[in-house]
Amino acid sequence: MDITPAGYLVFAILILAITLSVFVNKRINRESDSPKGCVGGAYIGLIVISITSLFITSLWIFSTQAYSLVVYPKYESTIVDVNSEWVEQDYTDSDGFTRSETVEMHTAVLEFYDDDNKLLRLNNSISSGDKPRIGDKVTIAYHDGKLVEFSLRSFLILVALAVMMILLGSISTCFVLYALNKDITRVREFAWSFVFNVVIPASMFFMMCAMLYALWDHHTNNGDMPVWAQGVSIFFAIVLAITLISYFKRLLKELKKAKNKT
């Protein structure tokens, strides 16, 4: 049986993660008054392996996606068909329970001519709950059979991957430093600062933009958004805007204090 390059990569990731978990467990047992048993060690090892594997995987996906968007030649394609399927998704309700729902996801079928003037017909790289309109134009990045939608939502997905990669990378770096008996204070402080000064305000900003876009789309395309939904969107958009202004005011004060100290 032949092993693909992706198979070798998965195998290498698992070996690296398992090795790291062994060294982390060794330090924990060395510094603990009551060494962890097999169950405790396996639990810690599972956490280390999971987070480290997710970090390396997200790094790989981010790198290939960014390379495709930047380097691949760009083409103008046309939506000629739509493939739809029902997909089961998990969500957390207001009571904190995880529930499942079935949603219909749509993938646009695109046609375009490559550099050899050959007509190609391929599925888009992104699926969504909104059904694409046949005849719409979509800019894509394409090379050697791989197609990536070149659009704002592709770059937003890339930003989300970058955020996840930085957070998982910080935790993985802490694991490595801890296993090597090094101080992890600076990495931990960076992770907390990144979450509170970047992730949280960025999340609020995107939520505010999403609500404003929904309102704009409703009024420009004669949508069917109920009046109460419009009121809720306006209310939360205002609340988020006020919160963001207060957030950045506090951040500017802290930066001025830090500058005065230096």
What are 221-230's pLDDT values in tens digits? Answer: 766 778 888 8
What is the pTM (predicted TM-score) of this model?
0.72
Question: What pLDDT, on the 0 to 100 scale, is given for residue 67?
Answer: 93
Is 174 inside any structural domain?
no
Round to whole Å and give the CA distance between 141 and 5. Answer: 23
* pLDDT tens digits, one per residue of 66-100: 999 999 999 999 999 999 888 887 766 666 667 77
Final residue belonging to a domain, choices 70, 105, 121:
70
Q: How many domains does the chain have?
A: 3
Same domain, 115 and 139: yes
Give backbone dihedrals phi and psi of 145, rounded to 5 degrees, phi first: 90, -10
Contacts of 136 (CB under 8 A, 6+ apart): 78, 79
Q: Is residue 55 part of a domain?
A: yes
Is 46 in contact with 96 (CB distance < 8 Å)?
A: no
- pLDDT of 32 higher than 80: no
* Domain assignment present for 144: yes
Helix boundaries (H) for 104-199: 152-179, 185-194
Claim to verify: residue 187 and residue 257 sit in the same structural domain = yes
pLDDT at 23: 81
Q: Is residue 59 part of a domain?
A: yes
The residue segments making up the domain with residue 193 are 183-261
Last residue of a domain, one of 39, 70, 101: 70
Residue 165 counted as domain residue: no
For 116, the token pair is: 């050899």
Same domain, 95 and 65: no
Tell whether 62 and 114 lie within a shared domain.
no
